[in-house]
Amino acid sequence: MEKERVFVVVLGKDQKGIIAQVSGLLFKHGANIEDVQQKVMDGTFVMTMLADITESASGSAGLRRALDELAESLGLKVMLHNEAVIKAMHRI
């Protein structure tokens, strides 16, 4: 079975516990985190997580809804992209 991997992108003001809360949510939804990066860009905190959701019962739709709720409670923005989109746009 081909792996389904997604990038979770979190943007906003840096604050305590972002990585912990997003990681916890991904764990709860059966996703396996394969990579984490973070950086402050143009004054904005940006974190990306690459997660394998092949075995997640929630799928990308369920995960997105849960992430949206979490992001709203933290005053952050979150995006979720299939790895294929990033690969298509940034690699020849």
Partner 1 sequence: MEFGVEEVFETAGMILFEHFDIRAVTLGVNLKDLIDRDAGRLAQDAGERLAGLGKRLVSEAGALSESMGLPIINKRLSITPAAWLIEPCAQADAPLVLAQALDRAACEAGVDFIGGFGALVQKGTTAADRRVMESLPQVLSSTQRLCGFLNLASTLAGMNMDAIVRLGHILKDMAAAGPNGIACAKFVAFCNAPEDNPFMAGAFHGGGEADAALNVGISGPGVVRAVVDKHPDADLTELSEIIRRTVFKITRGGELVGRELARRLGVPFGVVDISLAPTTAMGDSVGRILEGMGLERVGAPGTTAALALLIDAVKKGGAMASGRVGGLSGTFIPVSEDEAMIEAVEVGALSLEKLEAMTAVCSVGLDMFAVPGDTSAATLSAIIADELSIGMANDKTTGVRVIPAPGTVAGDSVDFGGLLGRAPVMPVNRFSGAAFVARGGRMPAPVRSLRN
- Give the footprint of partner 1 on this chain (CB under 8 A): 6-7, 9, 11, 35, 37-39, 41, 46-48, 50, 59-61, 64, 77, 79-82, 84-91
Task: Please tell me the chain's helix, strand, coil percentages from 3-state DSSP, rounded to the nearest 5.
Answer: 40, 35, 25
21 or 46: whose CB is closer to partner 1? 46
Q: What's the min distance (Å) between Cβ of 21 and partner 1?
A: 19
Q: What's the min distance (Å) between Cβ of 85 and partner 1?
A: 5
Whether the CA torsion 77, 23, 51, 68 is positive or negative: it is negative
